Structure 1
Amino acid sequence: MSSGERKYWYNTTSGEVEYGYISPAVDRVGPFDTAEAAANAMQTLRERAEAWAVEERIDDDWHKTTDVDGK
């Protein structure tokens, strides 16, 4: 048994929290250690996406400043 079978997942199709591999992988987000964390999966994904977008903008700005000097 893999560790994912003993974790919680959020089903993006049904909006339900599942324990273990119940639905197809394409419909699952996770794994999460708790049912509460799985229930908050979409908020967690939004927060992570926003943080990654900020990091990308910082990286892009850094590259623009270094490319101007050709360095």
Structure 2
Amino acid sequence: MSEKEFWYNTRTGQVEQGAQSDWSQLLGPYGSREEAEGAMAKVAANNEAADAADDEDSKWDNRPGNDAD
């Protein structure tokens, strides 16, 4: 573990330099404090993208005559 790694603590909402808390509370590692500070925004964006992909995936069998949606 490097002290130059930054972690976002989901419980406290704080950035840690070096993993100081239990791994289950941390997102990272990130290469900079700023990157770690944006961890939750990145998680939200990834969740939105995954939800959109799931929505598209659920339409895989749609046919022009299928009005089920």
The number of aligned residues is: 64
Q: TM-score, normalised by structure 2?
A: 0.79
Matched residues in 2 for 1:7 and 1:55: separation?
31
Matched residues in 1 for 2:36 and 2:12: separation?
13
- Runs of 4+ in structure 1 displaced over 2 angstroms? none
Alignment of 1:11 onto 2:9: yes
CA RMSD of aligned residues (A): 1.9
Deviation sequence 1:21-70 (CA, Å, 0-9, x none): 210011101111111010011111001000010011111111x327x7xx
- Correspondence 1:1-71 to 2 at 5 A: 2=1, 6-62=4-60, 64-65=61-62
Q: State the identity as a percent.
A: 33
Matched residues in 1 for 2:52 and 2:43: separation?
14
Please state which structure has a larger fraction of its residues in helix.
1
